Structure 1
Amino acid sequence: MSADRLPRSRRPAPPRRRLPDRVLARPSLAAALGLAVVVVLFGLRVPDLLTVGGLAAVLDTAALLGIGGVAVGLLLVGGHFDVSIGMLTVSSAVLTGVLVGPAEWGVWPALTASLAAALAVGLLNGWLVVRTGLPSFLVTLATALVLQGVTVAGLPLVAGAPRISGLDEARGWSSASALFGSTAEVGDGVFSVSLLWWVALTAVAGWLLWRTRFGNEVLSMGGSRRAARELGVPVHRTTLVLYALTAFAAWLLGTLTLVSTASVAATPALVTAIDFVVVAVLGGCLLTGGYGSMAGAAIGALLYAVARRGVELAGWDPRWSQALLGVFLLVALLVGGVVRGRLRAAPRS
């Protein structure tokens, strides 16, 4: 009698997985351990970090980093980069500000137009990557430079100044503010609605990656694009969808920032794009694709935010936060190299 026909009580127990294999199944574990170390390190030195106010400040920073990090992380799992997300964030916000301010549009028509423009840029990135076969890093870097030039040089020409203010007088501002700019006070902390957007986006991205056919296509494409094509994965369509999702995240970040300040300025944002990549890698997303976790990317954003806020509260030179994050990034890359080697050595069924 075969084992699968035996009564459940007499079936042999499945072989227990070794610790390295269990770690591989949880890409977010390294980020969680790093987060615990940073919380203990700064929590002992600056107790204010562990207060409600300190938590609110950390989450406010982590939410914006996490929204971009989760989108970039999903793209990394698919084997692609997008370094234009930071500048697209600024450009979409500037477009909204120009339409609301000098053009005197209502807030919602302006937001709809800027979302359409952001999605068009994302789809263009995806189309160029698919059609030319060029590295996505170079394609999106070129896009970022074009957006930076047009935005930084164009805003003063259109608005007469490098910053547009007073947007809260536009039609529909109150409803937009409720959705993108509301806050809640708890004790001495002020929590922004961006936190809810971050949690929702992380949950949706995690569900897409691990519970849908689209997620299987992303993982297959990131593991081997050629093999994915041979298996019938729609690589071109999946790539376009990934870049559209990244563009939506950029628009959302720009909108959250614009609505919370009721103003917008044309500021180069390449460093922000790199920060999003750092957050995703800290969370366990491999730069080579095919492996990663959206929960890990969210934890990576928390790790980044705690380190930055801890350095500020400790009164250290802010550059120490960059050094600390560089150490964590190096560790994440080394761990990623080990993971990549074990994945290649794993038997294929």
Structure 2
Amino acid sequence: MTQTTVEAPAPPAGRVRLGLSNRLLARPEIGALVAAIIIFIFFLILAPSFRSAESFFTVLYQSSVIGIVAVGVGLLMIGGEFDLSAGVIVYTAGLANSMFCWYFGVNLWVGAFISLALCLLIGFLNGYLVMRTGIPSFLITLGTFFVLQGANLGVTKLVTGTVSSTDVSQIAGYDSLGKVFSSSFKVGSVTIWTSVIWWFLFVALATWALQRTRVGNWIFAVGGNADSARAVGVPVMRTKIGLFMTVSFLGWFVGMHQLYRFNTLQAGGGVGNEFIYIIAAVVGGTLLTGGYGNAIGVAIGAFIFGMTSLGIIYAGWDPNWFKAFLGVMLLLAVLVNLYVKRMSTMRRAGS
């Protein structure tokens, strides 16, 4: 007897299109990607100098300085917390390295590791206090922000007599540290800073961790509902403290870049950058309520910041309008993210 095989009917084309549409809408970075394309085309048309390869890689550099820390801030926001000290800790890192080595006359590598330990300790304390006290991270890290801002100014003035660090270019270890954190190379007429490469690597690592590791599942779980995550065995305290320390580590990294790029730092720097990191994450599709987002979206958000901040200058406009644009962009991003998430939920329910 011959057997006949009956093939299952193919799904209707409409259902396939609906499934693809649902998957696209479920991607946190879709709204940011569309916005980035529109802004890119906008400045290509209105700013002739924006069209050169040199300008494009300058935009990438500007984006990387913000984007590296924004990666950590985005992960922390997915985990349901905020860090308002992320902007000033960049300068705390550089100032600690600079002043320690200048005052004691030691190799800059020693100061770099001491600075790293200090930043990790600050991140640990932020996370520990949030978890132990139950006080919102917004308030804990706001306190840390003021402590670091005051310490940066006070200690720098005490050690150097001014509100800026001393020039470190003549201290041992400067050249080797500069190659790691702030070197550049030429490809034709284009200068590429290694911070751009580091940025790509951190984004790739964060993407892999979120999507392919158990730690990534923990981050989404604690951001979505910490109590439920704890009930199924997720180490909530360890995960959140680790996220705060990740922000501090990336802040230290950018602090090293700033120090070895410019040789000196202003003690009052970094104030306000914490909001730019949050804006990059929100524009990239990260929800303020936690549990949703990805590193690629945060990177696109940082790229939008870089395009806008330099595109306004290339177009010859008054740069004082930049902050107003950031505010509008943040409001639009929140509305678009909310709309996309609702549409995605409705279509999944309808299918």
What TM-score do you get using the length of structure 2 for normalisation? 0.92
Q: Which residue of 2 aligns with 1:243?
A: 244
Q: Is the 8 A contact 2:79 2:220 kept in 1?
A: yes
Q: Measure the CA separation in 1 of the matches of 2:345 and 2:244.
A: 27
Q: Is the 8 A contact 1:52 1:187 kept in 2?
A: no
Q: Which residue of 1 aligns with 2:228?
A: 227
Structure 1 position 212 matched with structure 2 position 222: no
The Cα shift of 1:173 comes to 1.6
Q: Is the 8 A contact 2:71 2:203 kept in 1?
A: yes
The Cα shift of 1:11 comes to 7.6
Per-residue Cα deviation, 1:183-237 (whole angstroms, up to 9, x for no partner)? 1123443221111110111111111111100000000111111111111111001
Q: Is the 8 A contact 1:42 1:49 kept in 2?
A: yes
The Cα shift of 1:337 comes to 2.3
Q: Which residue of 1 aligns with 2:61?
A: 60
Q: Which residue of 1 aligns with 2:140?
A: 139
Q: Which residue of 1 aligns with 2:128?
A: 127
Quick one: which amino acid aligns to residue 74 of structure 2? G
Q: Which residue of 2 aligns with 1:3?
A: none
Q: Measure the CA separation in 2 of the matches of 1:11 and 1:311.
A: 55
Q: Measure the CA separation in 1 of the matches of 2:43 and 2:343.
A: 34
Q: Tell me, what secondary structure is at the counterpart of 1:228? A: helix
Q: Measure the CA separation in 1 of the matches of 2:263 and 2:71.
A: 26
Per-residue Cα deviation, 1:255-305 (whole angstroms, up to 9, x for no partner)? 000011111220142311100000011111100001101011111111111
Q: Tell me, what secondary structure is at the counterpart of 1:142? A: helix
Runs of at least 5 residues in structure 2 that lack an aligned partner in the other structure: none
Q: Measure the CA separation in 2 of the matches of 1:118 and 1:96.
A: 11
Q: Measure the CA separation in 2 of the matches of 1:37 and 1:298.
A: 16
Q: Is the 8 A contact 2:22 2:344 kept in 1?
A: no
Per-residue Cα deviation, 1:22-41 (whole angstroms, up to 9, x for no partner)? 23321111111111111111
Q: Measure the CA separation in 1 of the matches of 2:126 and 2:335.
A: 30
Quick one: which amino acid aligns to residue 189 of structure 1? V
Q: Measure the CA separation in 1 of the matches of 2:172 and 2:146.
A: 33
The Cα shift of 1:99 comes to 1.4
Per-residue Cα deviation, 1:44-68 (whole angstroms, up to 9, x for no partner)? 1112112122012101100011101
Q: Measure the CA separation in 2 of the matches of 1:210 and 1:8.
A: 38
Q: Measure the CA separation in 2 of the matches of 1:10 and 1:135.
A: 54
- With 333-342 and 143-152 compared, the bigger mean Cα shift is at 333-342
Q: Measure the CA separation in 2 of the matches of 1:67 and 1:261.
A: 18
Q: Measure the CA separation in 2 of the matches of 1:198 and 1:155.
A: 29
Q: Tell me, what secondary structure is at the counterpart of 1:265? A: coil
Quick one: which amino acid aligns to residue 259 of structure 1? Y
Q: Measure the CA separation in 2 of the matches of 1:11 and 1:81.
A: 50
Q: Is the 8 A contact 2:153 2:267 kept in 1?
A: yes
Quick one: which amino acid aligns to residue 305 of structure 1? G
Q: Is the 8 A contact 1:83 1:270 kept in 2?
A: no
Q: Measure the CA separation in 2 of the matches of 1:54 and 1:183.
A: 15
Per-residue Cα deviation, 1:141-179 (whole angstroms, up to 9, x for no partner)? 100100111111111101222222321111122211111
Q: Is the 8 A contact 2:88 2:269 kept in 1?
A: yes
Q: Which residue of 2 aligns with 1:321?
A: 322
Q: Which residue of 2 aligns with 1:177?
A: 178
For 1:90-109, what aligned pairs fall within 5 Å after superposition?
A: 90-109=91-110
Runs of at least 5 residues in structure 1 that lack an aligned partner in the other structure: 1-6
Q: Tell me, what secondary structure is at the counterpart of 1:35? A: helix
Q: Is the 8 A contact 1:52 1:186 kept in 2?
A: no
Q: Which residue of 1 aligns with 2:85?
A: 84
For 1:1-349, what aligned pairs fall within 5 Å after superposition?
A: 10=8, 13=11, 16=16, 17-18=18-19, 21-341=22-342
What TM-score do you get using the length of structure 1 for normalisation? 0.93
Quick one: which amino acid aligns to residue 251 of structure 2? A
Q: Is the 8 A contact 2:26 2:341 kept in 1?
A: no
Quick one: which amino acid aligns to residue 309 of structure 1? L
Q: Measure the CA separation in 1 of the matches of 2:324 and 2:175.
A: 41
Q: Measure the CA separation in 2 of the matches of 1:105 and 1:9.
A: 75
Q: Tell me, what secondary structure is at the counterpart of 2:272? A: helix
Per-residue Cα deviation, 1:306-340 (whole angstroms, up to 9, x for no partner)? 11111001111112222222222111101222345
- Residues 19 and 13 (structure 1), Cα distance of their counterparts in 2 relative to 1, 3 Å cut: closer
The Cα shift of 1:20 comes to 5.4
Q: Tell me, what secondary structure is at the counterpart of 2:82? A: coil
Q: Measure the CA separation in 1 of the matches of 2:330 and 2:202.
A: 24
- Residues 238 and 342 (structure 1), Cα distance of their counterparts in 2 relative to 1, 3 Å cut: farther
Q: Is the 8 A contact 1:183 1:192 kept in 2?
A: yes
Q: Measure the CA separation in 1 of the matches of 2:345 and 2:20.
A: 18
Quick one: which amino acid aligns to residue 44 of structure 1? I
